[in-house]
Chains A and B, each alone.
Chain A
């Protein structure tokens, strides 16, 4: 059995260090927001998790296109890995958002466009797992999964847009706020630095997890093949 590649070990270490620094930055470097106080610190990892979620689903859709073009099994592994990671981070995104929303909006949940889109996005990828578990033939499973990730990813922006035509109360920290956004604030230089560092860190975490998950997928394939061999 192949051992863990050296570059992956290095990536593990770098990611861990980055996460440590990012956490320190959030608590000790970034200033306390004047109105919202401590709970605003959720923002740094909240947005970063949302970013990783979107990135994962985008990569899954690209892997889907690549699979349909080349029909090489590795793209199916990449797609599944990306969707699994995306689900976890989309969930982190929603949970941290709720923690922030409770004191600021005075509710855990509201049917705001971003929240609605995030929920529907998770439902799409939950359906993706159900689709996969319903198919035994690996080739067909890979083909159908690829098609579904493409369709799902295309529908997400449309869902967002359609929900956006209603009014929103979600603050837009980057870019201009619509009137009626609650809990908005302007980032100071230190906040911005912390925020960008958080994004970078989470992107590293994503890359690291994706690599691990793809490796796991490959190993699972090898195990499957060995099993078949012993059965013969």
Chain B
């Protein structure tokens, strides 16, 4: 079944955007650098809330205050990661197709996103919420998901 996806990946790589990034000397490195800056923003947004859920960081503020305050920047970080990640992928789609780290990242990423915008958001945006076993577990799951995405992402470059 997976085999049938290869022509799609080839088509993506041969697309206009894929080839533009691929043949350019500087485009991939520049977009990659922006992807890293997105990682900083997204990482900061995720960590600030997860630390608070764990009972660390901005602990004098209610969980909901931290979560709502950070939320726009979480969205901005995700947007930046996707906007830069897609052209990077398109420029080397076939390499990604053969890369186990890429597939791991793409399996966990939707879970991490879904989790961040549903379960975690619900737990963290409740104004009455205080640090508890529930919030700690919520944060640990979040950190594990994003950590896996980030490590797998970094490893795409190593395992080629």
Is B truly associated with A? no
Q: Which positions in A face B, CB cutoff 8 Å?
A: none
Q: Which positions in B face A, CB cutoff 8 Å?
A: none
